[in-house]
Amino acid sequence: MTAARLRPMRWWDIEPVMELELRLFPEDAWSRGMYWSELADTGPGGTRHYTVAVDGDGAVVGYAGLMAVGAEGDVQTIAVAEDQQGAGLGARLLADLVAEAARRQCAELLLEVRMDNPRAQRLYERFGFEPVGIRRGYYQPANVDALVMRLDNPKEPADG
């Protein structure tokens, strides 16, 4: 298997990202319009940073997005295609967001994760995120609670 490569997400990635989005977030998928609006704020001076992972054939196999406003960063989304999970790609995408938050001098990086998603929570814990609260019924219409997690003082991860 050729290692996936990370690159900035562009508007033409929205369709393949939506295919993954609908499969990976069946209960709370974002719409195309949300991705268009997120990408519209990724230019110079923008508050968003979006990355895709592409395989050797150029197919999108993962994606992740960051919002950075002032000293606060938020992980907007992160996802890896089912057949690519468990090989470290989620960690590479998250490392990319943490590094960008550090470059933007965010004092903290926050995220919401479904309470019923222990796998994603473990990934965040490995990066030093700590649980700081619960948002009841955050995910609708499924009415699932969100765990809020925070990483203080994000730093550019050292290579290796």
Ligand X SMILES: CC(C)(COP(=O)(O)OP(=O)(O)OC[C@H]1O[C@@H](n2cnc3c(N)ncnc32)[C@H](O)[C@@H]1OP(=O)(O)O)[C@@H](O)C(=O)NCCC(=O)NCCS
Alpha-carbon dihedral angle through residues 119, 123, 129, 133, given to the nearest 10 degrees: -10
Cα first-last separation, the chain: 20
Catalytic residue chosen out of the listed positions 63, 112, 138, 139? 112
- Give the pairing type, strands 72-80 and 108-114: parallel
Query: Can residue 91 be called a binding residue for ligand X (CB under 6 A)?
Result: yes
Active site residue 108: no
Q: Between 68 and 138, name the residue whose CB sits nearer to ligand X.
A: 138
Q: Between 1 and 44, name the residue whose CB sits nearer to ligand X.
A: 1
Which of 14, 4, 7, 22 minimizes the C-alpha distance to 90?
4
Positive/negative CA dihedral, 84, 87, 91, 97: negative
Query: Can residue 80 be called a binding residue for ligand X (CB under 6 A)?
Result: yes
Q: Interacting stretch for ligand X, rule CB under 6 A, among 42-50, 88-96, 131-139, 152-160?
A: 88-96
Cβ pair 8, 42 in contact under 8 A: yes
Residue 9-48 contact track with ligand X, rule CB under 6 A, x = bound? ---------------x------------------------
- List residues binding ligand X (CB under 6 A): 24, 78-80, 85-91, 113, 117, 119-120, 122-123
Catalytic residue positions, numbered: 112, 124
